Amino acid sequence: MAPVTEDVDLLVVGGGKAGKTLAMDRARGGARVAMAERGMIGGSCINVACIPTKALVASARARRALDRGRELGLVVGDVRTDVDLLRAHRSDVVDAMVALNHKQFLDSGMDLVIGQARFVAERTVEVRTADGGGRVLRGADTVIDTGTRPRLPDIPGLDRAGALTSESLLRLERIPDRLTVLGDGPIGLEFADMFAAFGSRVTVVSRHSRLLPQEDAEIAAAVGDLLSGHGVTVLFERRVARVGRDAGGEVTVVLEDGLEITGDDLLVAVGRVPVTEELDLERAGVAVTAAGFVDVDEHLATTAQHTWAAGDVAGSPQFTHAALDDYRILKENLAGGSRSTRDRLIPRTTFLGLDLAHVGLTEEQARRLGHRVKIARLPVAAIPRARTTGETQGLWKAVVDAETHRILGATLLGPETGETLTTVQTAMLAGLPCTALRDMVISHPTMTEGLNMLFANLTEDQDTSGR
């Protein structure tokens, strides 16, 4: 007998950052809420993405700090990376956050339904539960937040080569002696730099002529110096012809120019695809884009009545803080508001040996848009705090409108710049001229104090965007 349809005020399909936050919020407010999640309590960020990677970045940074202990007046014994301890550290961090999320879900009063969901009608899903049973749930409002998964490119031999994705590499079965990384986005570079600290010889295969084409050219060059200083080799303008693994377990990547890279493991990090295929969205009247993302308008409404989408699957910038902002938008719009995703100032921080933090426009983008700009630059070595810690590598750069002195964007490569960037972002949101940060009294000696120095360095100079 088919299960009866259970009606709720809000149905969330996929418990990602946006969906779980909305579900808890509405449930705490007294609404009947059901959230279908196929198994990752808390979504990908805490289980297989941001949190486990940043736990390991912390290990990699500590490893490098220990390696230069003598510089700081410390005699450190034999430092080595222990994969079992690394795995335990990652699990401790993740398990504690999963447990906290689980408790918060239950405390909120929502109905947490563990199982794979697929649509059977408008706003209605059937959830296959682990015990073989099923439930049919219909929301007065339904939100899709099923996220993304790693993209596996169509490269001959790749499917049989036992290639790793970010998820499988995070299981940390071993530290490979030689790690080949296909892809030079944030995932590829974070893993490359972290595994170099753990002792792997890392080779990154890039299709581009330079690192990070979306970032400021000068800063990208400084990232290149950082990575090569850490022993990471980047091969530019290369395309992969085929991949194979031999009986001895070695994986060989053959490039179109004939070069062969042999390694113990291959990480494929060439972007992520939306989790929409198995959802039967057509049954819900929900259209998808050509790339398979849920088609949403600026209010995160889909093509079906009272059906919304949020986070990666809705084509939002693939960051947890963007997904959280999608929750804020949905919270208002489900209550009749019309909040928009347009013109959001969304920062990003890539966590290498140093933070690579960015907000707003790069110099190249600002010039393309016709702004007359002034540029501010500061080598991290000029900041007193960096002198005290001995972490003097890095470069800060900001782009300022030449007439108004409003900050158009900033890219900061250096220690903990993801934190300092927030001050710049706050000034941008408040519409403050950069002189406010130049003249603000900031505690000494902190890294943020560098903002005084950065904005004292404004120059109306030539185009250095590398266009």
Ligand X SMILES: Cc1cc2nc3c(=O)[nH]c(=O)nc-3n(C[C@H](O)[C@H](O)[C@H](O)COP(=O)(O)OP(=O)(O)OC[C@H]3O[C@@H](n4cnc5c(N)ncnc54)[C@H](O)[C@@H]3O)c2cc1C
Ligand Y SMILES: NC(=O)c1ccc[n+]([C@@H]2O[C@H](COP(=O)([O-])OP(=O)(O)OC[C@H]3O[C@@H](n4cnc5c(N)ncnc54)[C@H](O)[C@@H]3O)[C@@H](O)[C@H]2O)c1
- Rounded CA separation 381/384 (Å): 8
Q: Which residue is nearest to ligand Y (CB)?
A: 185
Residue 49 touching ligand X (CB under 6 A): yes
Residue 120 touching ligand X (CB under 6 A): no
Pair 308, 302: CB distance under 8 Å: yes
Pick from ligand Y, ligand X, none: which does 321 bind, CB < 5 to 8 A by kind?
Answer: ligand X
* Residue 189, marked binder: yes
The residue ranges that bind ligand Y (CB under 6 A) are 153, 182-188, 190, 205, 207, 240, 269-272, 318-319, 348-351
Q: Which of 25, 126, 145, 416 binds ligand X (CB under 6 A)?
A: 145
Q: Are strands 265-268 and 178-182 parallel, antiparallel or unpaired?
A: parallel
Which one, 276 or 448, has the nearer CB to ligand X?
A: 276
Kindly indicate which of the ranges 42-50, 131-139, 394-402, 416-424 contains the residues binding ligand X, using the contact rule CB under 6 A: 42-50
DSSP summary character for residue 340: -
Query: Closest Cα partner for 50 from 19, 81, 22, 17?
Result: 17
**Minimum CB–partner distance for residue 304 and ligand X (Å):** 17
Q: Which of 34, 53, 164, 189 binds ligand X (CB under 6 A)?
A: 53
**Minimum CB–partner distance for residue 95 and ligand Y (Å):** 21
Residue 14 touching ligand X (CB under 6 A): yes
CA angle 409, 413, 418 (to 5 degrees): 75
Instruction: Beginning with the edge strand found earlier in the chain, give each strand of the sheet holding 260-263 in spatial order.
Output: 240-245, 251-255, 260-263
> Could you tell me how many residues of this chain bind ligand X (CB under 6 A)?
35
444 is catalytic: yes
The DSSP H or E segment spanning 466 is none
What is the phi-psi region of residue 357: left when phi exceeds 0, alpha when psi lies from -120 to 50, beta otherwise?
Answer: beta
Residue 335: CB partners within 8 Å, gap ≥ 6? none
**Minimum CB–partner distance for residue 153 and ligand Y (Å):** 4
Residue 36 touching ligand X (CB under 6 A): yes
Pair 11, 141: CB distance under 8 Å: yes
Residue 50 touching ligand X (CB under 6 A): yes
**Minimum CB–partner distance for residue 181 and ligand Y (Å):** 9
Two tokens at 401? Answer: 């409108």
**Minimum CB–partner distance for residue 124 and ligand X (Å):** 14
Which residues within the stretch 316-335 sit at the binding site for ligand X (CB under 6 A)? 318-321, 323
Pair 219, 356: CB distance under 8 Å: yes
* Residue 51, marked binder: no
Q: Which of 117, 155, 232, 267 binds ligand X (CB under 6 A)?
A: 117
Count other C-beta atoms under 10 Å from residue 258's C-beta.
Answer: 7
Residue 230 touching ligand X (CB under 6 A): no
- Rounded CA separation 422/345 (Å): 11
Backbone angles phi, psi at 406, to 5 degrees: -75, 145
Residues making up the annotated binding site for NAD(+) are 183-190, 271
Q: Looking at the annotation, which residues are catalytic? A: 444
Q: Which residues bind ligand X (CB under 6 A)?
A: 13-18, 36-40, 43-45, 49-50, 53-54, 116-117, 145-147, 166, 187, 275, 279, 311-313, 318-321, 323
Residues making up the annotated binding site for FAD are 54, 312
